[in-house]
Amino acid sequence: MKRPGLKITLIDRKGDAPCHRGHRIGDTFDFDTERGKLCPMAMHVAFVYADILRYGGSIPGQEEGTAVFCCPDADTINVFKIEKTD
């Protein structure tokens, strides 16, 4: 059985400091082929949601096949959305 693809998109930012990695709202990353381009702090959080979505789980209160999460950088909190693509 083929695993579903996952796309990660930066959808919002909280705080006045710029992202230390240079990410901007609208940046999109393929979880399987571009994860090295995503900030390691954000990717650390994304892995949890990727596993949940890939293996049949869902996030309470969120649209089916998606998860919204934040990076842990207190200076600039980037808000990402991860979603299944197939």
What mean pLDDT do residues 4-14 have?
Answer: 96
* 42 within domain boundaries: yes
Domain that holds residue 41: 6-12+32-57+64-86
Task: Show Cβ contacts of residue 59 under 8 Å, excluding neighbours closer than 6 positions.
Answer: 49, 52, 53, 66, 67
Q: Give me Rg for the CA atoms of the chain.
A: 13
Reported as a single tens digit per residue, the pLDDT across 10-64 is 999 998 899 999 999 999 999 999 989 999 999 999 999 999 999 999 999 999 9
* 72 within domain boundaries: yes
Number of domains in the chain: 1
DSSP bridge pairs for 14: 77
> Is the confidence at residue 1, as pLDDT, over 80?
no
pTM over 0.85: yes
* 37 within domain boundaries: yes
**pLDDT at site 2:** 79
* 81 within domain boundaries: yes
* 25 within domain boundaries: no
* 70 within domain boundaries: yes
* 86 within domain boundaries: yes
In order, the DSSP letters of 7-73 are: EEEEEEEESSSPPTT---TT-EEETTTSGGGS-HHHHHHHHHHHHHHHTT---TTS-TTEEEEE-S-
